[in-house]
Amino acid sequence: MARTPAKTPGDTKLGPNTILATAGRHPFEYHGFVNPPVYHGSTVLYPTADDLFAHRSRYSYGRRGTPTTEALSDAITTLEGGAGTVLVPSGLAAITTAILSVAGAGDHILVIDSTYAPTRHFCDTTLKRLGVETTYYAAGEDFSALFRENTRAVFTESPGSLTFEMQDIPALAELAHKRGAAVLMDNTWATPLLFAAHAHGVDLSIQAGTKYFSGHSDVMMGSVSANADYWPRLRDTHGNLGLCAGPDDINLVLRGLRTLGVRLERHQKSGLEIAHWLEERPEVAAVLHPALESHPSHALWKRDFRGACGLFSIVLKPVSEAAVRAFLDALSLFGMGYSWGGYESLIIPFDARPLRTASTWAPEGPALRLHIGLEDVEDLRADLDRGFAALRAADDGIASPK
């Protein structure tokens, strides 16, 4: 099946929202319908023995790709400005696939101390068992002395999970490349819309598609986009691991992707309104949001990022754990649960202390991570207001400095 030319732009000079609306679609390959059909398939038939012997077919087997997987991976490649994209069944699988495509027995990797907790767990267990050593580095630290002869990759995340430290990605990439190491970045917070990872020196750009790409809390998905240097080994590793994402899940993510731009604008706007309001609350000691001027590396965010999403954290003034529980239980619009990036607001308490080995996390009081969804801001503020009233009523005045 020949691809209809020119209707869909591979032209990355188009604006990001135009790319979102057009990428990965070829309507006249499917009778003019706007969206690609969802192919469920394993076996691909060859019309003649000649075709079979010559492997003359655009597709060979379901695991190796279908028109459905191509629709989403092409869209992500266009959005990321990379050379190719693989799809995997979760964000964590995207992380492990990216790392396994650059490191093997006898190698060493550097990982940001504030990385997503399951990434750290993978490095400390499975990766270690496979003979790859991990050293954690702190955000803002000069970590050039941590490179070794066998350092193959720097794995980074900016802002960091839970605690939102920013990093100078172009400087990090320059250093890593000088030492012959690949730069891997979990770019889930910003998405390719708000931070152009490849353009800032990242070789493998990772997305938990479960979050904003899908946007509806109804699917698990991950993607890794590679630049030309790293695309062959990423594609090969992905194939060897036998990873493939399900067609209905891919269709949900492709559907979510079309509205990513408008959703992120709203998440950013509402998120900042709530963040500014929280900064003024007497119960709050600090708001950890890179787009706030009070953030210690706000300048880096401003220089490199095109915006912010709806995810940030707060540190409360010291209060008892009972008061934190009362606060959480008084909320009705903020759901308590893991993950984020859907249309709904979420909140979780966290303690990052056991998750840091190269830096110290010593907050003044209990910490909470918030995801600001697409609800009306006044309603979210009123919900938090009720929470703070319950917190004050429950606080016995004796802070529990854990």
Ligand X SMILES: *Cc1c(COP(=O)(O)O)cnc(C)c1O
Nearer to ligand X, 203 or 249 (CB): 249
Q: How far is the CB of 208 from ligand X (least distance, A)?
A: 3
The one catalytic residue in 25, 120, 152, 211 is 211
The CA distance from 317 to 33, in Å, is 55
The one catalytic residue in 74, 107, 113, 116 is 116
Nearer to ligand X, 8 or 96 (CB): 96
Q: How far is the CB of 140 from ligand X (least distance, A)?
A: 19
The CA distance from 215 to 169, in Å, is 26
Q: How far is the CB of 57 from ligand X (least distance, A)?
A: 32
Nearer to ligand X, 157 or 203 (CB): 157
The one catalytic residue in 186, 249, 304, 395 is 186
Q: How far is the CB of 311 from ligand X (least distance, A)?
A: 8
Q: Give the contacts of 225 (CB within 8 A, at least 6 positions apart).
A: 76, 77, 80, 82, 84, 85, 192, 197, 198, 204, 205, 207
Nearer to ligand X, 156 or 188 (CB): 188
Q: How far is the CB of 314 from ligand X (least distance, A)?
A: 17
Q: How far is the CB of 118 from ligand X (least distance, A)?
A: 7
Nearer to ligand X, 193 or 319 (CB): 193
The one catalytic residue in 56, 63, 128, 303 is 63
The CA distance from 30 to 67, in Å, is 11
Nearer to ligand X, 78 or 210 (CB): 210
CB 266 within 8 A of CB 376: no
Q: Annotated catalytic, 317? A: no
Q: How far is the CB of 122 from ligand X (least distance, A)?
A: 11
Nearer to ligand X, 207 or 227 (CB): 207
In three state form, how does the secondary structure of the chain look? Answer: CCCCCCCCCCCCCCCHHHHHHHCCCCHHHCCCCCCCCCCCCCECCCCCHHHHHCCCCCCCEHHHCCHHHHHHHHHHHHHHCCCEEEEECCHHHHHHHHHHCCCCCCCEEEEECCCCHHHHHHHHHHHHHCCCEEEEECCCCCCHHHCCCCEEEEEEECCCCCCCCCCCHHHHHHHHHHCCCEEEEECCCCHHHHCCCHHHCCCEEEEECCCCCCCCCCCCCEEEEECCCCHHHHHHHHHHCCCCCCHHHHHHHHHHHCCHHHHHHHHHHHHHHHHHHHHCCCCEEEEECCCCCCCCCHHHHHHHCCCCCCEEEEEECCCCHHHHHHHHHHCCCCEECCCCCCCCCEEEEECCHHHCCCCCCCCCCCEEEEECCCCCHHHHHHHHHHHHHHHHHHCCCCCCCC
Q: Annotated catalytic, 11? A: no
Residue of closest CB approach to ligand X: 91
Q: How far is the CB of 115 from ligand X (least distance, A)?
A: 8
Q: Using CB under 6 A, list all residues that contact ligand X.
A: 90-92, 116, 161, 186, 188, 208, 210-211, 220, 222, 339
Q: Which residue has the tokens 């990321």?
A: 80
Nearer to ligand X, 91 or 366 (CB): 91
Catalytic residues: 63, 116, 186, 211
